[in-house]
Each structure stands twice: as structure tokens, then as C-alpha cells.
């Protein structure tokens, strides 16, 4: 009976944790695919697999990394189906700048997302995991199964490319100046 209760509670706890992570997973999936439909499918697929295999998760502290790892596998499966002969790290999803789309670019978010689309997928995955989810380099390395050095170089190239593309845009209250942070308070 006790075993059953523990098993049941663990299962319930896991489902709750999974539900709590859904928006986070979705945000990452969307940042990779830039499509609500694909992001929905990816997250559903990833959550289904997570539910099916949750007993494989031994360290619940590593839940996020584990989930993002599953999401990454789903994403790779998706890309494999779509691009059988391409190296997925080299794929650049071009943003087709139609007049309609031009009108949609009313806000900075859309502009930034458009520039994110210009990054290759490998870079986009890394920057989204680090900037959106706050993953450490080691976590990203585990999630994407790439060396930490590759994480750093992809992140560096991604940020540099975005910095050059977005130089004319200045979001309000987001500029960080280390000098300004080193002030004394009396």
C-alpha cells in the first residue's frame, strides 16, 4: 500500500511539474520553430514522451534539462522529416519580407524575432536556452549533446549577429552598464 501511494504521488508530482513547465517548453519550442502550430506539436510530443518515460528520470533536480533534451530530440525528428539531406545546424530559415509581414512589424518583439529567424538553428537553440530559460552552458551542452566550447562559440556568434542587426533599436531600460552598477549607496 505504501509503495503504491509513493508511486502514485510521484506520478502526480511529475505531472504537475510537467504542467508547470509547459509554457517554458512552449516558449523555447516557439523560439526554435517560430510557428505556433509546430511549437504546439513539439511540446505535446515532448510532454507525451516525458510522461511515458518519467521513470527514467532519476534526479528530479535535473527535470528541466531532461525535458529540454526531449524537446530537442522532438525538434530534430521534426527537422529530419522536413529536411532529410540537410545538416540541421546549417539551416537558416529565411524570413520572407512580404508587404503584409512588413505591416506586422509594429513592435520590437516582432523585429527581434525576425532577426532570430536569420540565425542558423544551432545558434538559435543555444541562445534561446541561455537567454530565455537561463540554462547554464553545461546544461545546454547536455541538452543539445554538444561540447561546452561549441555552446560558447554558437552563443557568441548568435549574439554578435543580433547585436549588429539590432544596433539601431534601443529597448527601454534594458541597457546594462557595469559602471552604473558599481555605485555606492549611503
Cell of 73: 530530440
CA angle 92, 146, 118 (to 5 degrees): 15
Q: Is 136 in the site for another protein (CB under 8 A)?
A: yes
CA angle 139, 153, 86 (to 5 degrees): 90
Instruction: Write the DSSP assignment of 71-114 as a string of letters.
Output: HHHHHHHHHHHH-TTS-GGG-B------HHHHHHTTSHHHHHHH
One residue of 58, 96, 102, 179 binding another protein per CB under 8 A: 179
Q: Is 121 in the site for another protein (CB under 8 A)?
A: no
Nearer to another protein, 52 or 86 (CB): 52
Element holding 121 (H helix, E strand)? helix 121-127
Site mask, another protein, residues 159-178, x = CB under 8 A?
Answer: xx-xx--xx-xxx--xxxxx
Q: Give residues in contact with another protein (CB under 8 A).
A: 1, 3-5, 7-9, 11-13, 15-16, 18-19, 22-23, 26-27, 30-31, 36, 39-40, 43-44, 47, 51, 108-109, 112-113, 116, 127-128, 130-132, 136-137, 152-153, 155-156, 159-160, 162-163, 166-167, 169-171, 174-179, 182
Amino acid at each position: 500500500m505504501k509503495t503504491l501511494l509513493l508511486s502514485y504521488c510521484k506520478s502526480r508530482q511529475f505531472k504537475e511539474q510537467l504542467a508547470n513547465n509547459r509554457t517554458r517548453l512552449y516558449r523555447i519550442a516557439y523560439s526554435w520553430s517560430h510557428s505556433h502550430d509546430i511549437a504546439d506539436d513539439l511540446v505535446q510530443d515532448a510532454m507525451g514522451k516525458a510522461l511515458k518515460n518519467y521513470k527514467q528520470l532519476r534526479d528530479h533536480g535535473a527535470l528541466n534539462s531532461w525535458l529540454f533534451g526531449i524537446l530537442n530530440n522532438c525538434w530534430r525528428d521534426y527537422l529530419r522529416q522536413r529536411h532529410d539531406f540537410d545538416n540541421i545546424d546549417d539551416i537558416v530559415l529565411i524570413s520572407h519580407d512580404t508587404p503584409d509581414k512588413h505591416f506586422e512589424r509594429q513592435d520590437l518583439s516582432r523585429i527581434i524575432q525576425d532577426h532570430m529567424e536569420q540565425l542558423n538553428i544551432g545558434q538559435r537553440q543555444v541562445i534561446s536556452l541561455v537567454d530565455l530559460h537561463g540554462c547554464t552552458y553545461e546544461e545546454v551542452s547536455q541538452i543539445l549533446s554538444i561540447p561546452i566550447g561549441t555552446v560558447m562559440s554558437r552563443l557568441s556568434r548568435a549574439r554578435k549577429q543580433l547585436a549588429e542587426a539590432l544596433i539601431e533599436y534601443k529597448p527601454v531600460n534594458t541597457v546594462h552598464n557595469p559602471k552604473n552598477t558599481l555605485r555606492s549607496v549611503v
